[in-house]
Amino acid sequence: MSERYRSIIDVHVILHRSGEILLLERQGTGYCDGMLHLPSGHLDEGEPLNHGAAREAREEVGVTINPDFLSLAAVVHHRQRSDLARVGMFFVAERWKGEPYNAEPHKCGKLQWADPHLLPSNMIDYPAAGVRAWCDNTAFAHHGWADQG
């Protein structure tokens, strides 16, 4: 009997204010260094989605978010490569405590606020798909699948 399919679950946080969203420049990670991403990470075993998103925001940009103030903005089914897919859960923080700062300088070069409708050219495609889905009020998107047309 074959084992059931499993996928990595990612949680992404959209912090927005004054018409802009917060992006982080990856540095020293070996994956898309120099490119922009949202505060994000992997869901931990046994962790509710909104709690994982709040944890990642705290770890990466030092803000405190009550998980109850995170609204699901979009789901992106991302095919990273032929043998690896991920499900990205994109949450919007309705409010948070603290001023965002670079809490992981060993993984992040800088923080940058950007217009979500005019994403910088060095934004990683996968989180950009989630931001576009949120902007378009689309609940689901897929990225990297050959049949997406």
Residue-by-residue pLDDT tens, the chain, 149 positions: 778 877 899 999 999 999 999 999 999 999 899 999 999 999 999 999 999 999 999 999 999 999 999 999 999 998 887 778 899 999 999 999 999 999 999 999 999 999 999 999 999 999 999 999 999 999 999 888 875 44
pLDDT for res 147: 56
pLDDT for res 148: 46
CA distance 36 to 119: 9
CA distance 42 to 34: 20
pLDDT for res 56: 98
pLDDT for res 4: 81
pLDDT for res 149: 43
Instruction: Write a three-state SS string for 45-105.
Output: CCCCHHHHHHHHHHHHHCCECCHHHEEEEEEEEEEEECCEEEEEEEEEECCCECCCCCCCC
Strand partners for 23? 112
Q: Which of 45, 43, 79 is nearest to 54 (CA)?
A: 43
Strand partners for 122? none
Domains of the chain (ranges, CATH numbers): 8-148 (3.90.79.10)
CB atoms near residue 52 (< 10 Å): 23
CA distance 21 to 49: 21
CA distance 96 to 98: 7
pLDDT for res 73: 97
